[in-house]
A and B are shown apart, each in its own frame.
Chain A
Amino acid sequence: MIIAEHKPMKELLAMIEGFNNILMVGCKGCVTVCNAGGSKEVAILSAALRIARRRQDKPVTIDEFTLDRQCEPEFISWLDEQVKKKKYDAIMSLACSIGPQYIAEAFETVVVLPGLNTGFMGGTIEHGIWGEFCAGCGDCVIQDFGGLCPITRCAKGLLNGPCSGSVDGKCEVNKDMDCIWELIYERMKNLGQVDRLAEMIGAKDWSTSLSGGPRKIIREDLTL
């Protein structure tokens, strides 16, 4: 899922300065699971911002709405009626940055504000802790590494690791971070494939990554 976190309160307050009628929109997708932008976080952040603005004697109306997803225009259109009726000065999206971009496309004359900092593609390590597992390089090669991704999880992104910097299974860049190459080695050993690590891996083809601008995946069988 996409992991995100809300922006610092000071930044959010600065962002809504001058706006008096705001719609805060949550998303029931990834950001609900990572507790950054679901209906609960919409309630918490909007209450905190309303309190802060009343403290400054500049009260603000912040309505709350949570969509099933913000990464599909079809769901964004569910806001049409409310936005038309309430004439908001601004819409703050608590989705990953896809949400505010789609909202901006849908409502040409309304200011759109991102309430979250979008982090990475990751998973839950434990309750309240999320880690990055995928860099979205567009050409997955983890089959060569026991199913673990050295591009994302090695601080140096080495395909022919390990480097000599790991100590007791931890990375030299950050002592709290596992050396993924140690985990890859252990995994390959368990699979009886440790000899595969002796093979040199050539330069990766990065053309499938972001180097050519925003990417698209097209499934002809699904297009209308």
Chain B
Amino acid sequence: MTTEQFEPEIIAFCCEYCSYAAADLAGSIRMSYPPNIKVILVPCSGRVDPVYLLHALEQGADGVYVTGCMEGDCHFLTGNLKAKKRVAYVRKMLDEIGIEQDRVQMFNIAASDAPEFARVAKMMTEKIRALGPNPMKKNVPSRPAQGISGP
């Protein structure tokens, strides 16, 4: 597959109170955005844990991003600020292990801002397309054994 033909798979964790509504609105007003984006609804961007972002990459997503409310507008007051710090933590970790930081990003999008949702989706798709496929894509492994003792 050449880079020109490469169609990235991008996971977007979208907050129910803002960007998920913006995505919905974009659809309602027939505003197109790349089909590369796979939206996952979360009750708040603060619900997104670093491990979700890493697991998405590990399982072959070419890019992952989190969208939260505008700063100061979080329905749960500070969820978007927590998400921002967690995304920064994962980006730093990716840099340390030799993966392009820009595969993981955070955006703030208001519920009414469908054009911004579409712009971010297009921008992210172009950026990830330029980065090329996630090196993890080759031979995606099965999930490792996991266990927790006790109750």
List residues of chain A with CB within 8 A of the CB of B31.
Answer: none
* 6 closest residue pairs by CB, A with B: A52-B97, A9-B96, A47-B54, A63-B145, A68-B150, A65-B147
- Within 8 Å CB of A40, what residues of B? 49, 51
- Residues in B neighbouring A64, C-beta threshold 8 A: 144-147
Q: Which of B49, B94, B136, B145: most chain A Cβ within 10 A?
A: B145
Interface residues of B in 33-60 (CB under 8 A from A): 49-51, 54-55, 57-58
Residues 153 to 202 of chain A near chain B (Cβ within 8 Å): none
Show the binding face of A for B, using Cβ within 8 Å: 8-10, 13, 28, 39-40, 43-44, 46-52, 54-56, 59, 61-68, 75, 78, 82, 86
Is B27 located at the chain interface by the 8 A CB criterion? Answer: no
How far is B146's CA from A86's CA once the two chains are assembled, in angstroms? Answer: 13
Complex contacts, B148 vs chain A, CB 8 Å: 28, 39, 65-66
Report if B135 contacts A (CB, 8 A). Answer: yes
CA distance A54 to B134 in the complex (A): 11
A68 to B22, CA, bound (A): 43
Residue of B nearest to A38 (CB): B148
Roughly how many angstroms separate A164 CA and B26 CA in the complex, as a whole number? 65
Contact yes or no, A44 B97, CB < 8 A = no
A-B residue pairs in contact (CB < 8 Å), sample of 14:
A40-B49, A43-B55, A44-B54, A44-B93, A47-B58, A48-B93, A49-B97, A50-B144, A54-B136, A55-B98, A55-B136, A64-B147, A65-B145, A68-B149
Contact residues, B117-151 vs A (CB, 8 A): 135-136, 138-139, 141, 144-150
B55 engages A47 (CB within 8 Å) = yes
At the interface, yes or no: B81 with Cβ under 8 Å from chain A?
no
Tell me how far the C-beta of B54 lies from the nearest C-beta in chain A, rounded to whole angstroms: 4
